[in-house]
Homo-oligomer: A and B are copies of this chain.
Amino acid sequence: MEHPSTPTPGRLRTTPSWLLTQTAAHAGRLVTAALSPHHARGYHYRLLATLAETGPASQADLGRHSGIDRSDIVATLNDLADRHLVRRQPDPTDRRRNIVHITPTGRRELSNLQHALDTAQDTLLAPLNPADRRELVRLLDLLLTHHTQPEG
């Protein structure tokens, strides 16, 4: 008895939210696979990348820029600080805040992660030509902008 291996029929296959979550799951697998040799997860990369672009910032700002919850920032930053990729430092002008710096080691590690991730992006987008890739990024960016705007 063979199921002709019929994977997923029509209704789900044209449901945008399902397509998004499924492709995101594949993307997540690739990202996890790319980062795990470096003992890093998505949050680690996202924080390092944000930090490298914004420069030193408070944890709350890092959260806003990276879209990670304040409470998750704490744990991730603990990991990064333990590995000396990041330094926490009290803000002299506002004692509620920590100013978080990326260290030279952190920058090197970020560049490693970036390289691994670039490869993963290529694997992810393999079936798409350059124009289609740009189009996908454009459409996703439109969605994201719209759904971040209303109250952001």
Interface set of A (CB-CB < 8 Å, partner B): 3, 5-28, 30-31, 42, 46, 49-50, 52-54, 61, 64-67, 117, 120-121, 124-128, 132-133, 135-137, 139-148, 152
Q: Which residues of B contact A120 (CB under 8 A)?
A: 17
- Select from chain B the residue with minimum beta-carbon distance to A17: B27
Q: Which residues of B contact A11 (CB under 8 A)?
A: 49, 52-53
Q: Which residues of B contact A124 (CB under 8 A)?
A: 16-17, 143, 147
Contacts A15-B121, A21-B24; A9 near B50 (Cβ below 8 A): yes
Q: Which residues of B contact A61 (CB under 8 A)?
A: 3
A52: min CB distance to chain B, Å:
8
Q: Which residues of B contact A52 (CB under 8 A)?
A: 11
A63: min CB distance to chain B, Å:
11
A132: min CB distance to chain B, Å:
6
CA distance A140 to B146 in the complex (A): 19
CA distance A132 to B136 in the complex (A): 10
Query: Top 3 nearest A-B pairs by Cβ distance?
Result: A24-B24, A127-B146, A19-B140
A92: min CB distance to chain B, Å:
14
**Contact with A27, one of B21, B31, B132, B136 (Cβ below 8 angstroms):** B21
Q: Which residues of B contact A133 (CB under 8 A)?
A: 16
Question: Are A10 and B143 in contact, CB atoms less than 8 angstroms apart?
Answer: no
